[in-house]
Structure 1
């Protein structure tokens, strides 16, 4: 049996709901989901929620089936400006591994070159920066966007965090029908 594992990278100023939703969904599904801090195991979220990570960013990011970035401007800027993280994420894309970013975090992917000639989405207004930095990327206004050639999943903002987590699970080959029902996501979709 192949053991799947995902990493959610957290940095100070990250959007907490976007960080914890994928962790929660994957752990409910029995998938190893690690919280990985950028520079520290102790991270302060954008809304002053203290988060304690399982480990810190290092070369082991290359061993995950998917590496996930939450948004939040502070966290997104920290991701964008970190050369170690850029190097690891560029290697992951070159290896054909899945990477995901939502809300403001696609600005990091833009700087890393991961959006070049690929489809993506992001928080309204962030697309202006991503278009400047990655002019060959293709911005879409969908809730989530999957680019199979670039092995990228992106999403819009806090309200889309569940859709984002489920979309990542699906591109990794997991069946999300039961978890969507258990979490009332199907009910929400049908009634909102």
Structure 2
């Protein structure tokens, strides 16, 4: 038996099998082998202090001697330590956005499973692998504990006694803690951690909050407690936590790398050569992934398309179905790319991440699938840096497209820099992390209609245009 699993079986937390998912009218979610070498794209890690050497001159009547003592580098401040617990039914967008944004800021983020195993299936079916199990965290001190929401994920966190003790101690000692979506009402409220705290949560759970202290803001900071409403407010939630941990300048720097608010004064979407995308069956969607793929983009697109009732397959181009994203989140794909080589998909979407995009480009099977996709007149697209993959394979010539600013200059297509999402016929492209939700909702609107996209956006608590 693997060591991590054997260890986890000793925990006093929860039974193996997850309970039946709880139903909520606004949260429509019916229905990771050792990690490879770290691939990290963040440029915001704390910088090491420069070494300084000094010379000491001692003068005597006989001679002058210069001593150059060996000096040690100035000590780095300890990293901010963050705990993000997950369980069966955790909302994947919230968990992965929290982890990705905080790691970009330089935090040492520990993802801990409250289950008796490290791999969990999130609320929309994405499988995530935790770094450790919660029983290993009992004696640790964290600068921040941040709880993702989702159902039944929030209830699984609530029922974990070890996590309850850790979080209550965090609150008692006046260290930062936070929760999003269902977690404030379903997890923190029964633990007594919302007393005299202004709190927000997902609209479907507002009635479970103390009426006098409940607020409808997207993000609410009340002393050491920060709460937020849902997947659509997860970036705002994570950036608020970054600011509290590291300061405003770091938060602004991370915000820039996310392209957050980069084009808020411009249209979210522009469309050219408009044609219908509708199909007479449940749309089949392929999302290929690789080590170094941007995990936030993967889970956002997958989560939203599955909420809209599309049939989505995550396929790994690696030898293993488990991949490690650009910010070290481990995701278990549904299949390998070889196993889908003979399948036909209505839509193929390439997520970004610079290292991941390079590995996608090297996949012969994926090249074949993309070539056939274009020749057959089916839909395809990409986000962030993966437009470079389409460019190298001649799939965006004579098309209007957008991309991550670092890739735009390499495109030979007509670049549209005024919108976060660009559609040209059966090609859809988007700029990056903070535009991933608009990107996915644009796909939903094209495949299912605007009303379906509006309904999904409402469940996310995401501000979406009425027309």
TMscore range, shorter length: 0.7 to 0.9
| CA distance in 2 between partners of 1:81 and 1:117 (Å) | 24
Give the Å deviation of 1:62: 4.7
More helix as a share of residues: 1
Q: Which residue of 1 aligns with 2:332?
A: 52
Tell me, yes or no, if the aligned pair for 1:62 and 1:92 is still in contact at 8 Å.
Answer: no
Q: For 1:96-120, what per-residue CA distance to the aligned partner results, in whole angstroms no more than 9, with x for missing partners? A: 1111100000000001101110111
Q: Does 1:15 align with 2:260?
A: no
| CA distance in 2 between partners of 1:46 and 1:81 (Å) | 17
Structure 1 residues 29 and 61, CA, compared in 2 at 3 Å: closer, same or farther? farther
Structure 1 residues 61 and 181, CA, compared in 2 at 3 Å: closer, same or farther? farther
Tell me, yes or no, if the aligned pair for 2:422 and 2:430 is still in contact at 8 Å.
Answer: yes
Which one scores higher on RCO, CA 8 angstroms, separation ≥ 6?
Answer: 1
Structure 1 residues 10 and 61, CA, compared in 2 at 3 Å: closer, same or farther? farther
Give the Å deviation of 1:146: 0.4
| CA distance in 2 between partners of 1:46 and 1:37 (Å) | 15
Q: For 1:47-101, what per-residue CA distance to the aligned partner results, in whole angstroms no more than 9, with x for missing partners? A: 0001100001135475111111110001111122333322210110111111110
Q: Does 1:161 align with 2:436?
A: yes
Larger Rg: 2
Q: Does 1:183 align with 2:464?
A: no
| CA distance in 1 between partners of 2:390 and 2:440 (Å) | 18
Q: Which residue of 2 aligns with 1:26?
A: 305
| CA distance in 2 between partners of 1:9 and 1:69 (Å) | 6
Q: For 1:16-74, what per-residue CA distance to the aligned partner results, in whole angstroms no more than 9, with x for missing partners? A: 11011111011112221111111331111000001100001135475111111110001
TM-score (norm 1): 0.88
Q: Does 1:171 align with 2:452?
A: no
Q: What secondary structure is seen at the aligned counterpart in 1 of 2:292? A: coil
Q: Which residue of 1 aligns with 2:353?
A: 72
| CA distance in 1 between partners of 2:454 and 2:396 (Å) | 29
Q: Does 1:113 align with 2:394?
A: yes
Q: What secondary structure is seen at the aligned counterpart in 2 of 1:3? A: coil
Tell me, yes or no, if the aligned pair for 2:341 and 2:369 is still in contact at 8 Å.
Answer: no
Unaligned runs of 5+ in 1: none
| CA distance in 2 between partners of 1:125 and 1:4 (Å) | 32
TM-score (norm 2): 0.37
**Regions of 4+ moved over 6 Å:** none
| CA distance in 2 between partners of 1:5 and 1:16 (Å) | 21
Q: What secondary structure is seen at the aligned counterpart in 1 of 2:287? A: strand
Counterpart of 2:414 (choices 125, 129, 138) is 138
Q: What secondary structure is seen at the aligned counterpart in 2 of 1:86? A: helix
Counterpart of 2:314 (choices 35, 40, 61) is 35
| CA distance in 2 between partners of 1:178 and 1:68 (Å) | 22
Counterpart of 1:103 (choices 381, 384, 395) is 384
Larger displacement relative to structure 2 (52-61 or 174-183): 52-61
Structure 1 residues 78 and 24, CA, compared in 2 at 3 Å: closer, same or farther? same
| CA distance in 2 between partners of 1:61 and 1:186 (Å) | 39
Give the Å deviation of 1:173: 3.5
Tell me, yes or no, if the aligned pair for 2:285 and 2:346 is still in contact at 8 Å.
Answer: yes
Tell me, yes or no, if the aligned pair for 2:351 and 2:383 is still in contact at 8 Å.
Answer: yes
Give the Å deviation of 1:155: 0.3
| CA distance in 2 between partners of 1:80 and 1:107 (Å) | 9
Structure 1 residues 43 and 62, CA, compared in 2 at 3 Å: closer, same or farther? same
Q: What secondary structure is seen at the aligned counterpart in 2 of 1:101? A: strand
